[in-house]
Structure 1
Amino acid sequence: MSLYEKKLEYQEIHIDTVGDIDKIIADYNCFYNLPRQGRTADDDPSDRLQTFFRGQSDESWKIRASIEDAKEQEYDILADYKPKHDMNLFDTIAYIQHYQTGTRFIDFTTDKDVALYFACSGNMDKDGALFMWCYPPHKAEWYTACILTELVRIKTDSVMSVQDLSEIILGKYPKINDTFKEAIDLNTAIVSFLDHGFMAVPSETTKENNLRLKRQNGCFYLCGVKFEHPLDGVARISSHAGYNKFYPHSVQVPEGLKNGNGLVKIVISKELKKEILESLEKKGITKEYLLVD
């Protein structure tokens, strides 16, 4: 395939030179007019619609959550963790993801050089992949992130209803009551993203508690869950939304991260990996820098 084609489709691009990468990224951002104002009116840079990157050293791997390789359930992983800092739940899961074991968070970064490092730093006999995906992110402190991270505390593998989760959230997070006075009002909001998930950008406080996250310019895709029955239009409206049942510890990677519109996979040949790593090292992007203890 040629370099980036300006169209709203999944694209897999095989490059011939290192210089092709920057051109593809520039064309991608130009086509989608990125970055641009996101969900808030104050145009906060942290929540602009922008390009997120992910690197994988074997291009044949699918994008998946690392919890799928963990041997424990999420609530057991959380119970075993002994925090080094006074961190909230999101910060705690982010720390576990970077320093201990897998979670439902999928690592992304806003820095293409960091993603390139992970695309080239292993499996030297295989082609790597640099993924690009544009998304309007949520902030880690928003109620949406509170809800998806709260799933790890639920000590059951059985189905539960959206109404049950709403009541848990309203009981634990008083500030959410200012927006949603009743659980029924929260149900529709929960359903609107629980089956899909979203990208979440960490706060500066989160980064200060997690040096790897800070140096990697990291952010996370928070995966949604599997519902007992497929959602339809009626199931999503407020009067019915609370009856939907889901598996709290299921992990659903969205279709958009498989071959969805806006997703671009740049395949990096194994022959280019050494050259790219040498170039990154000159910029200070090394294992010792990114994976600091």
Structure 2
Amino acid sequence: MYTNPFVEKAFYLVCGDKLISDGYCDMNLYISSKISKDYMLQMLKNINSPFIELYRNKYPQKKNVSESLNIFLKSEAMQTYGKSDDMKLIEGQALIYWIYKSLNNAEARIEATKELMQLLIEKYQLNDEIRFSKGIAYLNSQVELNFISSIEKFFQCIEEMASLGKKIFYRGHSEANYVLVPSLMRKKSWLFNERKMYNELLINSPSNFQNMKSHLEYLVEMQHYGLPTRLLDITTNPLVALYFACCNHFDSYGEIVVFSVGDWAIKYPQSDTVSILASLPMFEYEKQQEMYKYAVDEGLTQEEFNIKIERLLHEVKTEKPAFKDQVIKEDLLHSRIVLPIKNNNRILKQDGAFILCGLSNNNRHLDVNELRYKEPNGKRQIFIVENKQRLLNVLNAFSINKATLFPEIDDVADYIKSKY
């Protein structure tokens, strides 16, 4: 049953993408059987999914789950569905959870997870040992887990990391399974239409951009108002990151991503590298991929490369007339941390900075993970957050809450309302 294309795709959506990209994934809600049937029914109903049929009756038993799945896949509801590649995330979650509910206990679900992960390891040639800790599955040679349940524990970790002398940045996710990519790359249609979205917002809201002079300023403003961009929000304040790791999804783990970098990875707004990367939205997706192909072509000399990307050079020069007609290949391929001008209240309150992402062969799995904090043994340190509500109460005592981090009046009003 686990080799069925629909089951394989479902598990990839639930866990495989995160495991391959980041080296770990949170399976706790599935292993501990914490997802409600009503929630799944409602989410599937919202997208009019045929997978809702799995949840209309009782969960299957272990002895008949394979047969029940085959009957469902051959049912009238699935005849017009398409291939397994068309599966949406919530459908993958629903299918895996439905299968796990046929297993009697957490131990059996862990064994099922191991079997499914072994198929992933073989398919993607990961060559690693899978281990489990509190429902988190991880690749032992790549990552080391740290569970954060108190401010004191977090401060202890920070003190150890800071002793190495590198610059530390943080990012908080309220779901540990959040894949570390910018919003633009979370949906193919956004990625393919980056140029259109960028220009349409400039055309339709010109007053927001009239005092801005650079593509980076445009991107920061677009990010602020929710347009998908190639920016990832980060912060220099660990307590801000901890807040974002705790503020939602109270039934699941949060995560704090810690970046530890040298000066080479940190850029200022006036940097030529920043101007190059921030100009990428001006090009169609096909042109971006063409530039990527040229950048990784070892047979192209630097001079030949710059001839191939002449349009990009021209775009940068419209912003910076004194820009030298040369782009280093690596500048297109790597993500960089940008320290922005703090002319935005939200950036100021959140001690904000950004990771500006470059190009990759599929624009999905970038080199952002290479910026994560690592121990001398090469293992990335993963910080999983539990006891969210307790931590939020402690953070509130430090004046870290929605009202202080989001100074807009509607957010302050929401915070005040939540107190009473």
Please list the CA deviations of residues 92-129 of structure 1 after superposition, one character each: whole Å capped at 9, or x if unmatched.
21121122222111111000111011000011000111
Q: Shift of the alpha carbon at 1:172?
A: 4.5
1:150-190 CA distance string (max 9 Å, x none): 0111245232455222344345422223xxxxx3xx23x2x
* Contact 1:139–1:200 (8 Å) recurs in 2: yes
Contact 2:180 2:369 in 1 (8 A): no
The 5 Å alignment of 1:215-226 reads: 215-226=349-360
Tell me which amino acid in the other structure corresponds to 1:57. Answer: S
Question: 1:59, 1:129 within 8 Å by CA — same for their partners in 2?
Answer: yes
> Does 2:287 correspond to 1:174?
no
Q: In the alignment, is residue 84 of structure 1 matched against residue 84 of structure 2? A: no
Residues 335 and 368 in structure 2, CA contact (< 8 A), matched pair in contact too:
no
1:96 aligns with 2:222: yes
The partner residue of 1:282 within 397, 401, 405 is 397
2:331 alignment partner, SS class? helix
What residue number does 2:165 align with? Answer: 33
Aligned length: 234
- Written as runs of structure 1 = structure 2, the 5 A alignment for 1:102-251 is 102-135=228-261, 136=263, 137-155=266-284, 157-158=286-287, 159-160=290-291, 161=294, 162-163=305-306, 164=309, 165-170=312-317, 172-177=319-324, 183=325, 186-187=326-327, 189=328, 191-203=329-341, 207-208=342-343, 210-227=344-361, 250=363
Report SS of the residue matched to 1:68.
helix
Cα distance in 2 between the residues matched to 1:278 and 1:260: 27
Corresponding residue for residue 72 of structure 2: none
Counterpart check, 1:69 vs 2:195: no
1:54–1:115 CA contact under 8 A, matched in 2: yes
Deviations 1:118-153 (Å, cap 9, x if unpaired)?
A: 000011000111111112311121111000000111
The alignment status of 1:57 with 2:183, answered yes or no, reads: no
Change (3 A) 1:100 1:171: closer
Q: Residue 84 of structure 1 aligns to which amino acid in structure 2?
A: N
CA distance in 2, matches of 1:17, 1:282: 14
Q: C-alpha deviations, 1:23-49, integer Å up to 9, x for none?
A: 00001111x124xxxxxxxxxxxxxxx
Query: Can you give the 5+ residue segments of structure 1 that lack an aligned partner in the other structure?
Result: 2-8, 35-49, 178-182, 228-246
Distance in 1, Cα, partners of 2:271 & 2:401:
33
SS in 2 for 1:119: helix
Conserved 8 A contact 2:349-2:405: yes
The alignment's TM-score, normalised by the length of structure 2, stands at: 0.51
1:218 to 1:260, Cα distance in 2 relative to 1, 3 A: closer
Following the alignment from structure 1 to structure 2, what is the Cα–Cα distance between the partners of residues 27 and 12?
15
Distance 1:114 1:225, change over 3 A: same
Structure-1 separation of matches of 2:243 and 2:339 = 20
SS of residue matched to 1:157? helix
Q: Which has the larger radius of gyration?
A: 2
Q: Which residue of 2 aligns with 1:23?
A: 156
SS in 1 for 2:374: coil
2:250 partner SS: coil
8 Å Cα contact 2:258-2:373 kept in structure 1: no
Gaps of 5+ in 2: 1-132, 134-141, 295-304, 409-420
Q: Which has the higher contact order (CA 8 A, sep 6+)?
A: 1
Q: Deviation string for 1:239-292 (max 9, x for gaps)?
A: xxxxxxxx8xx45521635977364321111xx211211122222222233233
Check 1:140–1:251 CA distance in 2 against 1; reply closer, same or farther (3 A cut).
farther
Q: Is the helix fraction higher in 1 or 2?
A: 2
Q: TM-score, normalised by structure 1?
A: 0.72
Shift of 1:226: 2.2
Kindly provide the amino acid, as one letter, of the partner of residue 333 in structure 2.
D
Code of the residue aligned with 1:200 in structure 2: it is: V
Matched with 1:266 is 383
Closer, same or farther: CA 280–259 of 1 in aligned 2, 3 Å: closer
Counterpart CA distance in 2 for 1:110 and 1:133 is 10
Q: Tell me how far apart the structure 1 counterparts of residues 352 and 197 of structure 2 sit (CA, whole Å).
A: 22
Q: Is the 1:65–1:253 Cα contact (8 Å) retained in structure 2?
A: no
Do the aligned residues in 2 keep the contact of 1:223 with 1:251 (CA within 8 Å)?
A: no
- The range that moved more, 133-142 or 279-288, is 279-288
Structure 1: which 4+ aligned runs deviate by more than 4 Å?
257-260
In 1, are the aligned partners of 2:395 and 2:401 still within 8 Å (CA)?
yes
